[in-house]
Amino acid sequence: MNLNATAVVTGAARGIGLEIAKKLISVGWTVAALDMLEDDLATAAEALGEMYKPYTVNITDSVQLKEVASAVAKELPVVKGIVNNAGITRDTLMMRMSEDQWNLVIDVNLTGAWKVTQAFMRSLIRAREGSIVSISSVVGLVGAAGQTNYAASKAGLIGMSKSLNRELAGRGITVNVVAPGFIETEMTENLPEEVRKDYLSRIPAARLGLPVEIAESVAFLMSPSAKYITGIVLPVDGGLTT
């Protein structure tokens, strides 16, 4: 099946974003894959074929984003989905955190999502349908030592989405947040063994989640089955926050 509609997915070159792209393609979306990693984008494009369209861009750069937005409008089917997935961490205790570490994480995770959403939302508004999903984190809900910057950015995504929901819900556009728990990716691969053990002891499901399990939730929220679900935060965390 081909939906003849494009989903813009940021950070889609690897990790959870790549898994989201794969899943969306499998249900018929064309994916505009936005990432800074040109090589990883090219590798993914080779593996995923026609429906995966790579665009090398830093989402903090408004000028680059504008260019990508007009290229996508010209080259791909109408944009009806936006997935704000690109995210970074710069962990350290607040007493030691530099202003640069704070700013960079807010710039990419929160302001980047705002910029990407703004760059592409008119097309959803005109189509009078579509879905926007932002990838937050359980850390945005419960906090984590060493992550004041990251948690603030992830909680910020929730406020942004809930407000945008109030602007757009009347247009048949859903705006939701998925809050992953601890997921098996490069982000969690390099955790010290004792931290990993500590995490596991706190997860009722007694395992880390898989990227594909985040992708499934995102695809569901973007599917016709979820048309009446909007403004929510969906934790996908093995019971961690419940």
Ligand X SMILES: NC(=O)c1ccc[n+]([C@@H]2O[C@H](COP(=O)([O-])OP(=O)(O)OC[C@H]3O[C@@H](n4cnc5c(N)ncnc54)[C@H](OP(=O)(O)O)[C@@H]3O)[C@@H](O)[C@H]2O)c1
The set of catalytic residues is 150
**Residues found near another protein in the complex (CB under 8 A):** 122, 125-126, 167-168, 170-171
170 binds, among ligand X, another protein, none (CB under 5 to 8 A by kind): another protein
Question: Does residue 168 touch ligand X according to CB under 6 A?
Answer: no
Among 87, 156, 235, 238, binds ligand X (CB under 6 A): 87
Beta carbons of 228 and 234 less than 8 angstroms apart: no
Joined tokens for residue 15:
């990790």
The CA dihedral of 216, 219, 220, 226, to the nearest 10 degrees, is 170
Phi–psi pair at 179, nearest 5 degrees: -115, 95
Q: How many CA atoms lie within 13 A of 164 on its CB side?
A: 25
Are the beta carbons of 55 and 13 closer than 8 angstroms? no
Task: Please choose which of another protein, ligand X, none residue 219 contacts, taking the beta carbon within 5 to 8 angstroms, the exact cut-off set by kind.
Answer: none
Angle between helices 211-221 and 15-26 (to 10 degrees): 50
Q: Is 178 in the site for ligand X (CB under 6 A)?
A: no
Token pair listed for 156:
């910020």
* Residue 126 or 206 having the CB closest to ligand X: 206
Q: Does 160 bind ligand X (CB under 6 A)?
A: no
**If we measure between CA atoms, which residue out of 199, 164, 158, 204 comes closest to residue 179?**
158
**Which does residue 125 bind out of another protein, ligand X, none, counting CB within 5 to 8 angstroms by kind?**
another protein
Residue 48 or 69: the one with the smaller Cβ distance to another protein is: 69
Q: Which of 99, 186, 193, 194 binds ligand X (CB under 6 A)?
A: 186
**Which does residue 171 bind out of ligand X, another protein, none, counting CB within 5 to 8 angstroms by kind?**
another protein
Residue 223 contact partner, candidates another protein, ligand X, none, CB within 5 to 8 A by sort of partner: none
State how far the alpha carbon of 237 is from the alpha carbons of 10, 111, 203, 227, in Å. Answer: 21, 25, 8, 23
Q: Does 141 bind ligand X (CB under 6 A)?
A: no
Q: Which residues pair with 131 in a beta bridge?
A: 81, 174
Residue with tokens 């393609």: 25
User: Minimum CB separation from another protein for residue 63, in Å?
Assistant: 17
Residues that bind ligand X (CB under 6 A): 10-11, 13-17, 35-37, 58-60, 85-88, 108, 112, 135, 137, 180, 182-183, 185-188
